[in-house]
Each structure stands twice: as structure tokens, then as C-alpha cells.
Chains A and B, each alone.
Chain A
Amino acid sequence: MNFANAFTPERLQEAWNCLLNEFPFAVWETVYSTLLATLFAIIIGLPLGIILVTGEKKGIRPLPSPVLSFLNVLINLLRSIPFIILMVMIIPLTRVIIGTSLGTVASIVPLTVAAFPFIARLVESSLREVNPNIIETAQSMGASPLQIVVHVMLPESVPSLVTNITLAITTIMGYTAMSGAVGGGGLGKLALAYGYQRYRYAVLYLAVIVLVIITQIIQSFGTWLAAKLDKRLKNK
């Protein structure tokens, strides 16, 4: 490694060219793999999170406790495997679904598997914030468990869900960068394969800076949206 030569004029020129030619596509890959993985993770994780709350012994639609225990163990198990190892572990599954384990599209499978248990826990915590008295009120009106979820629990927790999904997106984007180490595309791959392995440190740092900027944009937008949607605050 030689950092002294990393920022010579010709290296910087090279990095600038890379920024113009390679970065736009890498950013696109990072963004779409993040958003698609988040979407699929929500599709699996949202119902799961709802069940974790409603299926409790004192929930609105209690489930047999072995079912609930199984779900909790499964989620904890998946959450405890480091992403980079999970990604390698589920290569057979990725091959079955996508046909290959390489490339940006293929990386969406492990990203989803890693993210849905996280989303399920976030949804669980958001729904637990809903005032139990409001749920009791809905029951007193003759609402069914499904109606309580749709008309009360989800609408009441929208600001919290937005905040938590923003957190999930930024976390999943971190995972996409890691997936660059084992076949995934995007800014992570650019930073690792091009910047690190070929000693183009200027490119590595640029990739990191771009990742930081994207994260900032997503986080700021999520925070703004959550505040805008929250009707508990007065004078709006």
C-alpha cells in the first residue's frame, strides 16, 4: 500500500474520469438494489411485525405460543448472522431464485433475507408505540382484529414507521456496499474492487463520500417526511 502516490495529479485525474464514467451507473445500482431489497423486505417483514404484536398472549388476535416462539427464534437467528457470511451461506437459494449468485440483481436476494427480520422488529416496535387505549376503543366499537390493524394500528404509527423504514434503508445501503465484496454491484464494488484492490485510493474515498451523501439525503428526507406526517404536533 502506498498512500503517498494515491493523490498525485494523474491519480486524481483518473479518479475524476472514473467519477464521470463509472459512478453514475454504480450509484444507480446501489440505489435500485437498496430500494428493491427494502421493498421485498417490507413485503415480508411488515406482516411478520404485525403478527409479532397482534399474536401475543395479550394481543388482539393471540396465536399459539409455539408459533410465536418459532417466529421470534427465526428472526433472532437471521439477525445474528453477519451479513457478509449470510450472503455466502444462502448462495444456493440465490441461485434457485435468480439463476446466478453474481451481480447486482442476485445481491437483492441476500439483502432481502438480511433485511426482512430487521424490518419485522422495527415494525413491531412501531406498532407497540400505539396507545393501547385507542385499540381498546376500536374494540369497543366492534372492530375486528384485521380492521384494528388496518384502520387503527397502521395509520396511528405512520410517523414512527417512516422513521424506522428510513433507518432500514440506510442500513440496507450499508449492506449493498458489503455485497460488493462477494459479487454484488454498485458503489461498494467500485470502492473495493477498483479503489482498494487496484490501489486507486482516490476512487475509494470518492465512493465513500458519495455513499455518505446519499445516506444524508435519504435520512434528511425520511426525518422531514415523518415530521410532516405526524399530526400529533400542534399548529400545523
Chain B
Amino acid sequence: MIELKNLSKHFETSDGAVDALRNINLTIQDGDIYGIIGMSGAGKSTLVRCINMLERPTEGDVLVNGRNMGAMSEKELREMRRKITMIFQGFNLLMQRTCLKNVMLPLRLSGVDAKTAEKKARELLALVDLPDKANSYPAQLSGGQQQRVAIARALATEPDLLLCDEATSALDPKTTHAILQLIRSINEKMGITVIVITHQMSVVQEVCKHVAILENGSVVEEGEVAEVFSNPRANATRNLIYPESSGNDSVFPEGGQRIRVIFNGAIASREPLIAKMAMDCGILASILGASTRSVSDRAYGYMLLDIPGTPEDLARAISYLSQTPDITVQVEAEYAAKEADA
């Protein structure tokens, strides 16, 4: 279990003091894949580096399995870092060493003899599907292959925790998917806890079980991915989930009968909802705006509908749509009022 308690980090720069992290409190359970998402400059990289003390927090504690990382001696910390390994956006392989030697490096650093290290490294290269690249140099590999080698290297010392710092941000979508699948299978098969730092919502959607949203160094929202997605409370979260819709709602003219249909993980492909409503109830709703995403075949997001006709028609539409599982319907005026409260 990883506990971050009242974690803060200041930097003194030439432009004055910067609060990179402000009073962060998070608990990450063993076996989880935990996403930390935020725009660039939100403090994600600093946060992940505080976990293995590459950055020393200004205040607060990091407890890994109950042990305080900040109170360790340099030697204890080095031992501990073998159990908390890291992969990076830029892969960071040794360019002058073969893939085999790269994977052997952490083992050699921890004093494992060359023969044992080589055997283990070859097994790991096979695990990441690159058994034939042992004697290749990183420059001869694609980005995705380099990240696989980096993952093999990160697994060499049999860690309990894997930190992924924008590990897929330099990769194309297809390769990203493959690397995320690999990370997921490592989490499932080896029981390694994973922390994923990213600015891409799609990465969180694909692999994470829990997510924390970081904005200006503070956690603004935290919880299970499905829950946070279906009902984002903080503005920062909504901007990340629906980047294209932020602020667009206000362009619709006032008046009319408007409802917001919120998808909380409804099975997206099952029925043409709006068309069915037109046939069953004779209500011809027009879609004013929508922003939905599907996460493993389930829809999250919202649709803004204009319902023509009388208030009775509106009531019928609401009751009809509400029958569908995992869908909530709100009258737009009420929704806006709730927003103002929050």
C-alpha cells in the first residue's frame, strides 16, 4: 500500500517560488492500477518522483508498505528503489548497450552475477515479446519496442510497484494500446501495483481502476474510474473528459425544454435510444450537444436534448429515458442550478 500524506513540494526558481504540489493525500492499494492525470504543469511528474524520492517533498510523508521513504538512509533508499521501478516517456535506455545489457543493468547494479543476470534478462525479453532483440541496440528498435525493453528492465529486480511516467505519450495510438495491454497483464499476472502518470484520458480509460485528477498541484477529484467519469464534479475533470465541449453549452439559445441525459456506463451499442423514443412516444427530440466516450463498450458522458411540445411531453420523455439502465436524466435548468451549488 502506498500512502501519500500531506505531500507538498515548493521549488525556488528564478521567477520566484512555485508550489508544484499542495497538500496531496492519496492512498493506493496493492494490486491497483492507479491513474494520476492532469494537464502539463499540473505537477504529475513531480508527484511520481516524490514517491521514489527522486524529488524530496518539502513537506509530508510517503509511506510504502508502512515504511517512510523520506526517513531512509541513502543506502536503504537505494535498496527500496529496486522494488519501486520506473518507466519513462523517453524510454531512457542506454544507447551504447545492447537490449540484453540494458535489461541486465539493474541486476548487475544490485550485485547479481553476470550469468544469472543474463538468464533472467533473456526471460524478461521473452516476456515482453522481444526474445530476438537481445543483441540489438536501442537505436535499431521502434519506440514501442524500446518501451518494451524498458519494461523488461523495470521488471528485472522483481518490483512491487511500477511507476509509469507518461510511458505511452511518445507512442502512436496502436502502440500505446499494446503497451497498456502489457502493463495490464503484468499487473494481473505478477500482482505488481502500477501508478500511471498521464495527460491522456484514453490511457486512464483503458487500464486504470482508480484515478486522481491533479490541477495546479492539488488533487481535485479522486475515485474509481467509472464513477469519476460518469459524474465528474470538478471543472478540471470535465475539461479532461470532454475537452471539446468545455464551455460550449452556453452557446445554445435560452428557453425551450432541455434535458441532459447522463450515461453512467450504459451499454452503448444495444439500442438506438433517441430513435426509439421517437417511435415509441412520438417525441422528436433534437440533439443540441453531446459528449460521450465509451470505456470497454460502455458509454460515459452526456447528451443535451431539446424536447418540443408541452411540459407533459417533457415529463413523458424523462420517464421514458429513465427506464434505460445506467442512464440518468436531468432537466437542464435543474442541472445548471446544481452546478452553481457545487
Contact = CB atoms under 8 A, between A and B. Distances in A.
**Chains A and B form a bound pair:** yes
Interface of A: 131, 133-134, 136-144, 147, 151-152, 155-156, 158-159, 229-236
Interface of B is mostly: mixed
B246 interface: no
Given A231-B139, A233-B139, A140 B95 contact: no
Contacts of B138: 231
Contact of A136 (B77, B79, B92, B93): B92
A151 B140 CA distance: 21
Contact of A231 (B52, B78, B96, B157): B96
A235 B140 CA distance: 7
B78 A232 contact: no
Contacts of B97: 155, 231
Contacts of A140: 52, 54, 81, 85-86, 163
Contacts of B81: 139-142
Nearest to B107: A141
B96 A155 contact: yes
Interface of B: 52, 54, 77-82, 85-86, 88, 90, 92-97, 105-106, 108-110, 137-140, 157, 163
Which of A147, A155, A231 counts the most B-chain CB atoms under 10 A from its CB? A231
B109 A139 contact: no
A24 B88 CA distance: 57
A149 B94 CA distance: 13
Contact of A139 (B54, B80, B94): B54
A232 B96 contact: yes
B137 to A, nearest CB: 4
A158 B79 CA distance: 29
Contacts of A147: 109
Nearest to A141: B106
A156 B54 contact: no
Contact of B79 (A138, A142, A235): A142
B75 to A, nearest CB: 8
B139 A133 contact: no
Given A134-B94, A141-B157, A143-B78, 11 more contacts: A133-B90, A137-B92, A138-B105, A138-B109, A141-B82, A142-B78, A142-B80, A151-B109, A155-B97, A233-B139, A236-B137
B199 to A, nearest CB: 18
Contacts of B52: 140
For the complex of A and B, the 6 pairs showing the least CB-CB separation, nearest first, are A142-B81, A142-B78, A137-B92, A231-B137, A140-B86, A141-B106
Contacts of B140: 234-235
B96 A141 contact: no
Which of B82, B96, B106 counts the most A-chain CB atoms under 10 A from its CB? B96
8 contacts: A131-B92, A136-B92, A137-B86, A140-B86, A142-B157, A143-B78, A232-B95, A234-B140
A231 to B, nearest CB: 4
Contact of A142 (B82, B96, B139): B82
A141 B105 CA distance: 9
Given A151-B109, A231-B139, A232-B139, A141 B85 contact: yes
A133 B92 contact: yes
Nearest to B163: A140
Contacts of A155: 94, 96-97
Contact of B95 (A139, A141, A142, A231): A231
A78 B137 CA distance: 41
A151 B106 CA distance: 10
A232 B96 CA distance: 7
Nearest to A147: B109
A150 B92 CA distance: 17
A232 B81 CA distance: 28
Contacts of B157: 141-142
A136 B90 contact: no
A29 to B, nearest CB: 36
B78 A137 contact: no
B139 A158 contact: no
Nearest to A133: B92
Contacts of A141: 81-82, 85, 105-106, 109, 157
Contacts of B95: 156, 231-232
